[in-house]
A and B are shown apart, each in its own frame.
Chain A
C-alpha cells in the first residue's frame, strides 16, 4: 500500500506539469467540495434528504417560500406534527446550516492558502499561519477583550450577545495584525528579513501568547472560561450570514491575488538571491504573502477561534500528490482546505450530540496522524 502510493506520487509529479491535468484535478476537488457542502447542510439534529437540500436551498435563496425568520430557536415550533416541515427546513438550511458550512469552507480555505503562501515565501516547510503569530495574537486580543469585559453593547446601550462577540472579533483581528507586524519587524535586520529568525521570533511570541491565555483561563470565572475555550480551540457555532459577509472579502483577496504570484513562489525555493537574479523582488513578495496571510488568518480566527494544523498540513498533503509547483498547490489547497474544514466541522457537531467537540481538537486529532504519515511516506518515496 505504502509502496504503491509512492509510485503513484512519483508518476503524478510529472503529469501535474500539464495545465490540462491541473485543471482536471481542480474540477475533481470542486465536485468533492460541492458534495461535502450539501452533505454537511443536510446533516444535523434534523436530517434532511440530500436531494431536497439542493431544491430547498435554491428556493430559500431565491426566497420563493417567503420565510419569516426571527431567531434560531423558534424554527422547530413551526413544524407541527402532521404538517409539512418545508418552512422549518428552509429556515434551518438558509439561516443556520449554510452560513456555518460556508464559514467553515472560507476559514479552511484561508488557513490553507495562507499556509501554502507562507511556506513558499519563507522557504520553510514548517511555516504555518500559527507560527508567525497571527493566530495566537488574535486569541490574545479576544481573551483581553473578555478579561477587560469590553463590550460594544455598553456603548450602544444594548445587551445583545452578538455585540459582545463582535467586540471580541475586532480585538482579535487588530491583535492578529499587530502581532504579525511586530514579528515581521523584529525579524528585519539591516533592511533584510531573515526567514529563520522570523519563525523563531514567531515561536517565542506563540509561547508568550499561550502562557497569557493559560493565565487568563486560570483567573477567570466559569462563564469567561467558556468564552476563552471558544477562542483557543475554535468553533463554528453561532455563525450567521453577517459573519460570512465580513470574512468573504478577505478570503477572496488572498484567493485572487496569491495564484498570480505562484511562479515567483516557485523561484523562491532556489533561494532568495537566486530568485532575485531571476527578477523576483523577494522582499516585496514576502511582504505581500505575510500581509495577506495575517489578514485572512486574523479575520478567520476573529470569527472561528484558533484552529491549528490545517495551514500546516494541507500544503504538505497537496504537494505529496501533485509535486511542489505553486500553480497547482495554491488553488488546490484552497479547495482542499475548505473540504477538510467542512468535513471536520460536520464531524465535530454530530459525533457527540447534543454537545459539539471544539473544531480545533478535531483538526489536531486528524491532522497530526496525517502529517506523520506524509512525513514517513515522502521519505520512502525519496528512497
Chain B
C-alpha cells in the first residue's frame, strides 16, 4: 500500500481574502498528522484542498505522485475518505443505511455479505451498532459524528482526512476516536485530522502542524510544536506545558483568560457569584 499525500505551495483565496498562503506538507502511511490553529486560521480550507473539494489557485496536491485531479472520482474514493464537520442527511435514511453508503466505491451492482460485515464492524467499533435501525436524523450530534466516523471507516481507504472528528463527542468517545485512528495508522493508513483539543493532538499525533493566518507556522513532533512560546504566538493564550503523568507527551494547561492572568481571588469570587445565583434560583417560590 503506497499512500503518500503531498501538498506543494498551496495558495487559496476567495475574493480578496487569502485563506491559505503557501502551505506545503506531506503525509505518508502509518502516521497521524494533526492540524491545529485558532478559528479561521484556514484548517478546514486546507483539508478541503487536500480532499480535492477546492482547487488551489497555485500549488498542487498529489496523491501517490499523481496530481489529485488526474484521479477519477471513484478511484479517489477508494484512496481517501473524508469526515466532514457536520453531516446531515436530507431524507429519512436509517443509521445502518447511512453507514452502508461508505461502501459505495467498492460496490458493483449490489452490496455483498462482506460489505454488510464491514459496516457492522465499523458501527460496532464506533459504539453505534445499537442505533442501527434508528433514523439518522433523530440521532444526537455526538451519535451522528460517530455514525459518520463508521461510514468513513467502512470506506476502508489508505488515507483518512478528518475535520474536527471529536468536536461534538464526550471525553471517552474523543479518545475512542483517536484510538481508532492509532489502530488504523498502525495498519499503514495515513491520517490527517483537524483538532481543537491540543492535549488530544499531543497524545495521539505523530506530527502536528500549527496554522495561523493561512500559513503553516510550525510543523514537527508534539514536543517540538507544542511549546508555551508557540501557543502564545498563535493562539494568544498563556499556557504552561507540563509533562503528561503517564504518557510521553506534553500536557498543556492554560494559565490565563481574556488575555490577563487570573488570580486565585478572582476565581474564588466568580465561584461565589455562581453559588449565590444558584441559591437564588432554588429559594425562589414556585408558582402554583
Taking the closest CB of chain A, its distance from the CB of B83, in whole angstroms, is 9
Q: How far is the CA of A321 from the CA of B67 in the complex (A)?
A: 45
**Residue in contact with B105 in the complex, picked from A123, A273, A278, A319, CB distance below 8 Å:** A278
Q: Which residues of A contact B (CB under 8 A)?
A: 13-14, 17, 19, 123-125, 263, 266-267, 269-271, 273-274, 276-281, 319, 323-325, 378, 382-383
Task: Check A263/B98 contact, CB under 8 A, given A273-B53, A382-B135.
Answer: no
Task: Check A263/B53 contact, CB under 8 A, given A14-B94, A276-B73, A323-B92.
Answer: no
Taking the closest CB of chain A, its distance from the CB of B211, in whole angstroms, is 21
Which residues of A lie under 8 Å from residue B13 when comparing CB positions? Answer: none
Interface string of B92-106 (1 = CB under 8 A from A): 111001100110110
Task: Check A279/B93 contact, CB under 8 A, given A271-B88, A273-B53.
Answer: no
Q: How many A-B residue pairs have CB under 8 A?
A: 80
Q: Which residues of B contact A (CB under 8 A)?
A: 48, 51-53, 73-78, 80-82, 84, 87-94, 97-98, 101-102, 104-105, 107, 110, 133, 135, 137-138, 155
Which residues of B lie under 8 Å from residue A17 when comparing CB positions? Answer: 97
Q: How far is the CA of A263 from the CA of B108 in the complex (A)?
A: 11
Taking the closest CB of chain B, its distance from the CB of A35, in whole angstroms, is 30
**Residue in contact with A263 in the complex, picked from B82, B87, B88, B107, CB distance below 8 Å:** B107
On whether the beta carbons of A270 and B104 are closer than 8 Å, the reply is no
Which residues of B lie under 8 Å from residue A382 when comparing CB positions? Answer: 92, 135, 137-138
Q: Across the interface, name the chain B residue whose C-beta is closest to A329.
A: B91
**Residue in contact with B91 in the complex, picked from A19, A274, A324, CB distance below 8 Å:** A324
Q: How far is the CA of A270 from the CA of B51 in the complex (A)?
A: 16
On whether the beta carbons of B110 and A19 are closer than 8 Å, the reply is yes
Which residues of B lie under 8 Å from residue A270 when comparing CB positions? Answer: 87, 89, 98, 101
On whether the beta carbons of B81 and A277 are closer than 8 Å, the reply is yes
Which residues of A lie under 8 Å from residue B90 when comparing CB positions? Answer: 123-125, 269, 271
Q: How far is the CA of A383 from the CA of B88 in the complex (A)?
A: 19
On whether the beta carbons of A273 and B138 are closer than 8 Å, the reply is no
Q: Across the interface, name the chain A residue whose C-beta is closest to B110.
A: A19
Please list 26 pairs of residues, one from A and one from B, whose beta carbons are closer than 8 Å in the complex, sorted by A's number: A13-B92, A19-B110, A123-B90, A124-B90, A263-B104, A266-B97, A266-B101, A270-B98, A271-B90, A273-B48, A273-B53, A274-B82, A274-B87, A276-B52, A276-B73, A277-B77, A277-B81, A278-B101, A279-B74, A279-B75, A319-B92, A323-B93, A323-B97, A324-B92, A325-B93, A383-B138
The 5 closest A-B pairs by CB, nearest first: A279-B77, A324-B91, A279-B74, A277-B82, A279-B105
On whether the beta carbons of A278 and B93 are closer than 8 Å, the reply is no
Query: 12 extra interchain contacts, Cβ-Cβ under 8 A, other than A124-B90, A274-B82?
Result: A14-B94, A263-B107, A271-B88, A276-B73, A277-B53, A277-B80, A279-B75, A279-B105, A319-B92, A324-B91, A378-B92, A382-B135
